Amino acid sequence: MIYLDANATTPVLPEIWDAMRPFALTQFGNPSSSHGAGRKSRKALEDSREEMAHLLGAFPDEVVFTSGATEANNLALQSALSDSPSSILASQIEHASITEHLKKLEKQAFQVQWLDVEHQGKASLSNLSDKIKTDTKLATLMLVNHETGVLQPIETLGNQLQSKMWVHTDAVQGTGKIRIDFHRLCVTSLALSAHKFHGPKGIGALLVRRGSTLKPMLFGGHQQKSLRPGTEPVHLVVGMALALKLAMNNLEARRNKVALLRESFLQELRKEVADFTINGEYNPMLPFTLNLGFPGLKADILLMRLDMAGVACSTGSACSSGSLLPSPVLMAMQVSPEVLKSSMRFSFGFHLEEVEVIEGAKRIAHAVQSLRNHAGTTE
């Protein structure tokens, strides 16, 4: 299999697995226990918290461990708002863990002001003042889009609004790929997930600025100052912290390699496929993601053909890939109907080799040509 779906998840690196194993097999004490085994687990937990805080420009007490970014996003949104309906500012290209929460709030009389999106995939702040209401309590904008890889202007938004309201950013597709300084972003909270940067699944974090009040979604435990109760999975936390450390220590080397892989992929694809578009091409984007439209084809059919050919990719976010509805991100970008229904997401991990991406491009080209030829003979 040629794996071109790194935005969905990444493999745990061997050295990370090796670091996790002892805390699952031999050093398995409950970090809340007062005996020696518990104290060892507690130290590993807090060392990991300090490591992550250092790498992300935060204070250790601003790091709250969660089960992943979906929980972290929901926890942030819940904490930012009171029970009384108010206004919310959000982009139309957020992850489903944000947009679905906001749609639920709309049914409860909250008003969501949606930021416009430029044709190339960046949220527009040009009419920001018109979107802000006297009762706006929350603004949320992701750091990097999960379908296009386009960088979003969260730092600009945070600079303008953080002193006035809760500002949240979903940093899932940026963590481990670009340098993040939590305080410099001027946001109140930031969500991340370990399995997007070669850590384990089932663990993530919410960074919450000092002085901000979290409203826990769970009750019945004192862990993490009762902000997120429940026994902490020390082995997963250790894996996440090491994964982040390795990612940040090798940031430029990984990004440069992926940029070369992306270019090799595109060069090979252009040899065989004349008609395809790169969604978001003319905005600053990270090299890890390519969203391509193949006019004349249907993405779901192409996806099945590529799966049969041994190429793993997606039609959008992994959390929404089971949906038959068009991509909300591409709809917000107002791409043409032909591009909308034919777009695929290819995302690259640094563990790939050039020979793999070139072979992947060849298989994609063959599938596209085959489907187009078939469509031509049946018209």
299-331 tens-digit pLDDT: 999 999 999 999 999 996 555 545 557 899 999
DSSP string, 99-134: HHHHHHHHTTT-EEEEEPB-TTS-B--TTHHHH--T
CA dihedral 264, 172, 99, 141 (to 10 degrees): -90
**List of domains in the chain:** 2-9+251-378 (3.90.1150.10), 14-249 (3.40.640.10)
CA angle 339, 344, 347 (to 5 degrees): 140
- The mean pLDDT of 115-134, rounded to a whole number, is 94
Integer Cα distance of 328 and 55 in angstroms: 33
Radius of gyration for the chain, computed over Cα atoms and rounded to the nearest angstrom: 21
Over pLDDT 70: what percentage of the chain? 96
Structure tokens at 65: 């461990």
pLDDT of residue 217: 84
- The mean pLDDT of 189-193, rounded to a whole number, is 99
Q: pLDDT confidence of 226, banded at 50, 70, 90?
A: confident
Q: Is 356 helix (H, G, I), strand (E, B) or coil?
A: helix
C-beta atoms surrounding 181 within 10 Å: 11
pLDDT of residue 306: 98
Question: What value does the mean pLDDT of the chain take?
Answer: 95
Integer Cα distance of 176 and 82 in angstroms: 33
- The mean pLDDT of 213-231, rounded to a whole number, is 87
Lowest mean per-residue pLDDT among 52-56, 161-165, 288-292, 323-327: 323-327
**Across the chain, where does the E strand assignment appear?**
2-3, 63-66, 87-91, 111-115, 136-140, 166-170, 189-193, 204-208, 277-278, 289-293, 311-312, 343-347
For residue 377, pLDDT beyond 80: no
Q: Classify strands 87-91 and 311-312 as parallel, antiparallel or unpaired.
A: unpaired
pLDDT of residue 317: 52
CA dihedral 100, 327, 354, 173 (to 10 degrees): -30
More confident residue, 228 or 310: 310
pLDDT of residue 323: 53
Catalytic residue positions, numbered: 319
Burial of 3 (0-12, 13-18, 19+ CB in 10 A): buried
Q: Is 135 helix (H, G, I), strand (E, B) or coil?
A: coil
Would you give the distance in Å from CA 379 to the centre of its chain? 40
Integer Cα distance of 61 and 278 in angstroms: 41
pLDDT of residue 375: 67
Helix and strand numbers (H, E) in the chain are 12, 12
Integer Cα distance of 123 and 119 in angstroms: 9
Identify whether the C-beta of residue 51 lies closer than 8 Å to the C-beta of residue 249. Answer: no
Structure letter (DSSP) for residue 186:
T
Q: pLDDT confidence of 65, banded at 50, 70, 90?
A: very high
pLDDT of residue 374: 77
pTM (2 d.p.): 0.94
For residue 201, pLDDT beyond 80: yes
Identify whether the C-beta of residue 276 lies closer than 8 Å to the C-beta of residue 292. Answer: yes
User: Which among 69, 35, 64 is positioned nearest to 230, based on CA atoms?
Assistant: 64
For residue 293, pLDDT beyond 70: yes
pLDDT of residue 376: 56
Chain segment 332-351, per-residue pLDDT in tens: 999 999 999 999 999 999 99
